[in-house]
Amino acid sequence: MAVVTSRTALGLGVVALIGAAAFIGLTRADPLPRDTQEALAALQPDPEAGEAIFWATGCASCHAAPGARGEDRLVLAGGRRFETEFGSFAAPNISTDPDRGIGGWDLAAFASATMQGVAPDGRHYYPAFPYPSYRLAELQDIVDLKAFMDTLPASDRANDPHDLRFPYSIRRGVGLWKRMALEDGWAVTGDLTEAEARGRYLAEALAHCAECHTPRDRFGRLDRDRWLAGAPNPSGDGRIPGITPATLTWSQSEVAGYLSSGFTPDFDTAGGTMAAVVASLGQLPREDLDAIAAYLARVPPVE
């Protein structure tokens, strides 16, 4: 009996070790591959071009201080909180401060964070940071974005911790989620015009429209069969509207005008988080907003 018990304990121990090794392997945080980092390093940064990428990606919408206006939106001190069913996420300081912000990051660290969701210390970032969309960005745009952000003011504001429910508080588990959820292809495919393809790039990669406007499954993955069809507000307050042709009945000119000014065709105004989005997208040239509108008209209609 003692022999059987010892063998059983040994077997369980081996199984536990194998399980632990598998968990560690499946949840590891992978930065950008070396060849991609080398390709990044070979590109010439253009901070002027990076300013347009900054507004398209909406960095200020999340990382400027709550209530910031005008030039204050360029101080990326963090501090906003985002309430979700998983808990409360706190936007971090991503200013040029070398201690409290990201001023000490090199290009490889910045790109790995932005496109892979991996911190310089090897931790996973939670996908409240929309790297699942940014991973589709062109490398030149990432280089230019960092070049522009390096010109912005520093803030020494300390970061607030997230407040998440178990098991979401186990950050390493994000590695499993990444293996299930990250996509490398476009959601809207087909023979697109040049303007529609530009709009797809802006909407799917940079402006990450789907992160709010597309419903998710029980694992938090975007439901590509219901792309941009509308979704529950993560805060639990109301619903984020669908923006496919099934529900978005505005003309393309009206859509572009709304993204520029925040005024709807009925002279209502953008509110809530969309007001901050418009404040960023409104900085883009009109042809980019027209391109987003053209793309939205090509999204498969979903009621």
What tokens appear for 147 in the block?
Answer: 């070049």
**Tens digit of each residue's pLDDT (9 = 90 or more) over 73-104:** 999 999 899 888 889 999 999 999 999 999 99
Using left for φ > 0, alpha for ψ between -120 and 50, and beta otherwise, residue 261 falls in: alpha
SS3 111: helix
Burial class (CB in 10 A: 0-12, 13-18, 19+), 221: middle
What are the C-alpha distances in Å from 294 to residues 37, 235, 265, 299? 33, 30, 17, 9
pLDDT for res 196: 97
Whether the full predicted model's pTM is greater than 0.85, yes or no, is yes
pLDDT at 7: 61
Helix (H) or strand (E) holding 294: helix 286-298
Q: What is the pLDDT along the chain (303 residues), one digit of tens a residue?
A: 555 566 665 555 555 545 445 555 566 778 898 999 999 999 999 999 999 999 999 999 999 988 888 888 999 999 899 888 889 999 999 999 999 999 999 999 999 999 999 999 999 999 999 999 999 999 999 999 999 999 999 999 999 999 999 988 889 999 999 998 888 899 999 999 999 999 999 999 999 999 999 999 988 899 999 999 999 887 667 789 999 999 999 999 999 999 999 888 888 888 778 888 999 999 999 999 999 999 999 999 987
The residues, ordered by sequence, that sit 6+ positions from 44 with a Cβ below 8 Å of its Cβ are: 143
Q: In DSSP terms, which residues pair with 216 in a beta bridge? A: 222
